[in-house]
Amino acid sequence: MTTPALDQASPRHTSPLVTVRDLAVAYGDGPLVLDGVDLDLHPGEMVALLGASGSGKSTLMKSLTGFAPINSGTVRVVGVDMTDLRRGRLRHVRASVGQIFQQFNLVGRLSVLTNVLTGALHDAGAINLVGGFSTAHRKRAMELLDRVGIAYKATDQARTLSGGQQQRVAIARALMQRPQLILADEPVASLDPTMSQSVLDLLHEIAREDGIPVLVSLHVLPLALEHSDRIVGLRHGEVLVSAPTAQLDAAALDLLYAHDDREAGLVQDLV
């Protein structure tokens, strides 16, 4: 029997930039990875996506950028129907979505500044084919590096930076796209606790100040409780929890990790 999800958070004053309804996803002839998923993402909010490994978190993110098949249901991202895409519209969506990954995905031998500039490749024009960027692009990239606190590293090779610094470069690169949505898939999984707090603080600040919805997949429950406006929890491909973070209790979160006694005990201690 499917456990009913908690009530959705009250609608915000702005229309959602992402709307997912009754989404089902399967790869080939395999079982459903997502089953009946609903999700709204509004400007200015940071939403934590929780669930055990294999719950469907990464697949849900991939469905928002056309990297996962949509078997049924509807997915609209920045006004585009992801179930009926021509190649040009898919490029438009992907250019509108800033993505941040666990392993940073920087080019280590290139400078920090050049790595940030690659976020402008989609609109920099043909000159980029020979490695050129405009003065305006360079100015913006330096402004973004200053915003994330590492402008002083602009000429350093990316591989010489610490993990936390590299993730800040990745955030600046995502912002270089002028995204309408940010997807962060386990962005602090390889960082120490102090750097994790710092990176999530930065992402939450971007959501609030720039009005960009941020969907962040996390495994560490204390970080989700501290750094999100809303939590969406998946288990076996179904949404079991969808509520403002402040309204969650231990019973609601236990639904996500009921198969893992250690994780469930941690939830009880935290909430």
| pTM confidence score | 0.87
Predicted local distance difference test score (pLDDT) of residue 157: 96
Strand pairing category for 214-217 and 230-235? unpaired
Q: Specify if 37 maps to a domain.
A: yes
Q: Specify if 26 maps to a domain.
A: yes
Q: What is the 3-state secondary structure (H, E, C) of 190-255?
A: CCCHHHHHHHHHHHHHHHHHHCCCEEEECCCHHHHHHHCCEEEEEECCEEEEEEEHHHCCHHHHHC
Predicted local distance difference test score (pLDDT) of residue 264: 45
What is the C-alpha to C-alpha distance for residues 49 and 66, in angstroms, rounded to an integer?
19
The residues that bridge with 191 in the sheet, in sequence order, are: none
Predicted local distance difference test score (pLDDT) of residue 12: 52
Percent pLDDT > 70 in the chain is 84
Res. 126: pLDDT tops 80: no
Q: How many domains is the chain built from? A: 1
Q: Specify if 3 maps to a domain.
A: no
pLDDT-based confidence at 5, cuts 50/70/90? very low
Q: How far is CA 32 from CA 23, 25, 36, 55, 77, in A?
A: 10, 6, 10, 11, 22
pLDDT-based confidence at 13, cuts 50/70/90? low
Residues, the chain, total?
271
Residue 187 is part of a domain; what is its CATH number?
A: 3.40.50.300
More confidently predicted of 10 and 111: 111
Q: Specify if 1 maps to a domain.
A: no
Which residue range is the domain that position 250 belongs to? 18-270
